[in-house]
Structure 1
Amino acid sequence: MIFALAVIFFLTIAPVYGKYYFEFTSSFEVGSLFAIDDPLSVGPEPTSTLIGNAQGLYVSSSRDHVMFTTVMYTNFTFRVAGSMGALSFYSQGVHLWTQIHELAIVGERGALRMARGFDLTQITFVNLTACNVILECNVTLYHY
């Protein structure tokens, strides 16, 4: 069975550690670690149907604060119609201002075990002052 799954979820970036080597005025200095633990929903509205949650880490890997670059690990856990499964995504060198980011699916659990695929993520809303970002995730998943 081959199917594609598209979800949009809210992402809140919370700084865990900052100001490592350089003195920038940005909160995204090299070495800064950000943690996420957010709901996965069908749409961007707060009232959208929840289908799971997203947890993960971002590490700022760029000395240039204008070209914010991260290494990212994210885990999507799905809880839809009583079935549970999880996908783990990994990406390196993601530039914040790039139109579409590609993430590789590197691990699976539960009902999604042995699945393969990728995620094309697009930023639909950014508020760096409040550290809020909304991402549209288009996941292509091959399940054997």
Structure 2
Amino acid sequence: MAGSWRQLREKVSNLNFYFHDTVSGQNVTAVQVASAPSTNASSTFFGTVMVIDDLLTEGPDLTSKLLGRAQGLYAMTSQEDIQLLMAVTYVFQSGEFNGSTLAVVGHNAVFNKVREMPIVGGSGKFRLARGYALAHTYSFDLTTGNAIVHYNATVLHY
């Protein structure tokens, strides 16, 4: 049986979903857990660390089909611009990939039109996954800080 994994055929999956980052209002899904003494004086919120349990949905509306959750953290890592380091696991809870996960760790320059982040692993149907996720802000409320981000992920897996 040794080496039998090599006989598996690699697949490519393309996933589209919406990530709902709710930092204020009802049903908050992102909470600040740390900051630096200088964070409040920073125009980029440098030093802020947020822990998330955001909804992943099929469409941009919260009432659209729930696909899973984005669980992990992001930190504000730039003193010059609003940029994040994201360490997030997409936990799929329905459909073809129910019970599977994808791990994303990388840089997110949130005000760029499109951001590319690496997929560095996964579990379940995404075991040995690698690939990339393209993020595009669907909506961002400057008053509340709440955002909806469209993700298009290309995943290579067995």
Query: Do the two structures share a fold, i.e. TM-score over 0.5?
Result: yes
Q: Distance in 1 between matches of 2:155 and 2:115?
A: 16
Equivalent residue for 2:63?
Answer: 47
Deviation at 1:15, TM superposition (A): 2.2
Which whole-Å deviations, capped at 9, do the CAs of 1:120-144 have from their partners, x for residues lacking one?
0011111133120100000011222
Q: Distance in 2 between matches of 1:53 and 1:9?
A: 8
Q: Distance in 2 between matches of 1:138 and 1:25?
A: 31
- Percent sequence identity is 31
Aligned length: 140
Equivalent residue for 2:99?
Answer: 84
Structure 2 regions of 5+ residues with no counterpart? 1-10, 24-30
Give the CA RMSD over aligned residues: 1.9
More strand by share: 1
Q: Distance in 1 between matches of 2:129 and 2:78?
A: 32
Map 1:91-110 onto structure 2 (within 5 A): 91-92=106-107, 94-110=108-124
How high is the TM-score relative to the length of structure 2?
0.79
Structure 1 runs, 4 residues or longer, greater than 3 Å off: none
Structure 2 residue matching 1:111: 3-state secondary structure = helix
Does structure 2 conserve the Cα–Cα contact (< 8 Å) formed by 1:10 and 1:135?
yes
Deviation at 1:6, TM superposition (A): 1.0
Q: Select the structure of larger CA radius of gyration.
A: 2
Does structure 2 conserve the Cα–Cα contact (< 8 Å) formed by 1:9 and 1:42?
no
Equivalent residue for 1:62?
Answer: 78
Structure 1 residue matching 2:88: 3-state secondary structure = strand
More helix by share: 2
Q: Distance in 2 between matches of 1:39 and 1:99?
A: 22
Equivalent residue for 1:15?
Answer: 32
Q: Distance in 2 between matches of 1:23 and 1:116?
A: 37
Structure 1 regions of 5+ residues with no counterpart? none
Deviation at 1:22, TM superposition (A): 5.2
How high is the TM-score relative to the length of structure 1?
0.86
